Amino acid sequence: MKKVLILLLMTYVYSFAFEKLTVENFDSKIKGKNVIVDIYADWCPPCKIVAKNLEEFDIIKPDNVEIYKVDFDKQADIAFKYGVKSLPTLLFFKDGELVSSSVGVISPKRLLQKSKENF
């Protein structure tokens, strides 16, 4: 029971670690930056793993990379605009333009590699 409580607490904390984007602020937040956008849903178990991995990646990421989150259930228009069909999906933007995406669970080490490839 203690492990379940800790896992739930960690999931709750991870969901607030990065700024959440909306349709209204999406374009202005990614413009002129190197950005990874995590498209997730609270009900998605693999999304929780990606959230944890993004927290670990945040410690080792290059300084010129920012991470944002988009709640699929609340901001579906963003997901549809970029063709997101599966969760979790990470979108990589350079100067406001989509340059790459990744579907499924991805490790912090692979995130570092992909950020070096894309930015």
What the block records as the tokens of 63 is 């300084």
**Entry pTM:** 0.85
Helix, coil or strand: residue 66: strand
Q: Percent of the chain scored above 70 by pLDDT?
A: 87
Q: Domain containing 60: what range?
A: 2-118
CATH of the domain at 63: 3.40.30.10
Model confidence at 17, pLDDT cuts 50, 70, 90, reads confident
- The residues annotated with a catalytic role in the active site are 44, 47
- Total structural domains within the chain: 1
Which amino acid belongs to residue 34? N
**pLDDT band at 3, cuts 50/70/90?**
low
pLDDT tens digits for range 61-78? 999 999 999 999 999 999
Provide the 10 A C-beta neighbour count for residue 15. Answer: 16
